């Protein structure tokens, strides 16, 4: 049985889907930061439109999509989906299946490397605000992309996405008000040392 809050969440998600199809939905954390820094909303451009789409992968750098708070999908883009189901203790990042399969895909070592699950509590965070856990999962995604260098460098749009993710994570980490938990620093250093400032 759905409650009023469930109906609100469903309506909010439907609005996100509608905005996604119009290309107007962007990541709320980066959009807010860019707007604050520049005094205006960010302008998202399609890149590498001329590349072939033979693998079924969108070759444009699409804006990262962010769902409303407390829905399961926190962030999604052309490579992965980050989910945070509050009914569980962990957050999860999972690469899209079509990127893993085939001779040119990322998969070499099986399903274990297709997703990563982390607990906010293990990184000194509360369950209500797992911001750092999200950043660690995004750093893991960078590490995972580097594990398949031929895949990463096969299309320039992938390298562009990688470089942009590094930049965004650096900005987010630099804006943090409190020092990072030791385990957070350790994981970031292991998975994406280039994001540490």
Query: In the prediction, which pLDDT does 160 show?
Result: 96
**Torsion sign over Cα 118, 122, 126, 129:** negative
The continuous run of DSSP H or E covering 3 comes out as none
Range list of β-strands (E), the chain: 73-76, 80-83, 91-95, 115-118
* Residue given tokens 């990262």 in the structure block: 64
Confidence of residue 61 (pLDDT cuts 50, 70, 90): low
CA gap 169, 5 in Å, rounded: 32
Quick: pLDDT tens for 113-137: 789 999 999 998 988 889 999 999 9
- Position 39 pLDDT exceeds 60: no
- How much is the average pLDDT of 156-183? 94
Which residues are within 8 A (CB) of 77 and not within 5 positions of it... i.e. 6 or more apart? 62, 63, 64, 65, 161
Confidence of residue 24 (pLDDT cuts 50, 70, 90): very low
Confidence of residue 64 (pLDDT cuts 50, 70, 90): low
Query: In the prediction, which pLDDT does 101 show?
Result: 79
Q: For residue 25, what are the CA distances in angstroms to 34, 52, 81, 181, 182?
A: 14, 25, 15, 32, 34
- How much is the average pLDDT of 38-54? 36
- Position 166 pLDDT exceeds 70: yes
The answer to whether 157 touches 59, Cβ cutoff 8 Å, is yes
Confidence of residue 40 (pLDDT cuts 50, 70, 90): very low
- Position 174 pLDDT exceeds 60: yes
Which residues are within 8 A (CB) of 87 and not within 5 positions of it... i.e. 6 or more apart? none
- Position 197 pLDDT exceeds 90: no
Burial per residue of 52-85, b for 16 or more beta-carbon CB atoms within 10 angstroms, e otherwise: eeebebebebbbbbbbeeebbbbbbbbbbbbbbe
Q: What are phi and psi of 50, to 5 degrees?
A: -80, -5
3-state secondary structure of 91: strand
User: Counting Cβ atoms within 10 Å, is residue 111 exposed (0-12), middle (13-18) or buried (19+)?
Assistant: exposed
- How much is the average pLDDT of 50-57? 42
DSSP bridge partners of 117: 92
């Amino acid at each position: 049985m759905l409650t009023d809050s469930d109906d609100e969440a469903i309506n909010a998600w439907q609005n996100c889907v509608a905005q996604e199809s119009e290309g107007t939905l962007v990541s709320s954390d980066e959009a807010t930061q860019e707007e604050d820094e520049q005094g205006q909303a960010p302008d998202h451009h399609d890149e590498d439109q001329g590349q072939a789409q033979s693998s079924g992968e969108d070759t444009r750098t699409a804006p990262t999509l962010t769902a409303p708070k407390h829905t399961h999908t926190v962030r999604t883009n052309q490579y992965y989906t980050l989910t945070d189901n509050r009914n569980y203790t962990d957050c999860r990042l999972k690469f899209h299946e079509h990127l893993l399969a085939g001779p040119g895909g990322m998969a070499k070592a099986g399903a274990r490397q297709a997703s990563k699950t982390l607990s906010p509590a293990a990184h000194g965070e509360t369950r209500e605000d797992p911001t750092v856990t999200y950043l660690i999962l995004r750093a893991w995604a960078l590490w995972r992309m580097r594990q398949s260098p031929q895949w990463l460098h096969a299309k320039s749009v992938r390298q562009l996405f990688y470089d942009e993710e590094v930049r965004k994570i650096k900005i987010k980490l630099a804006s943090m008000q409190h020092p990072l938990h030791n385990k957070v620093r350790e994981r970031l250093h292991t998975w994406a040392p280039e994001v540490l400032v």
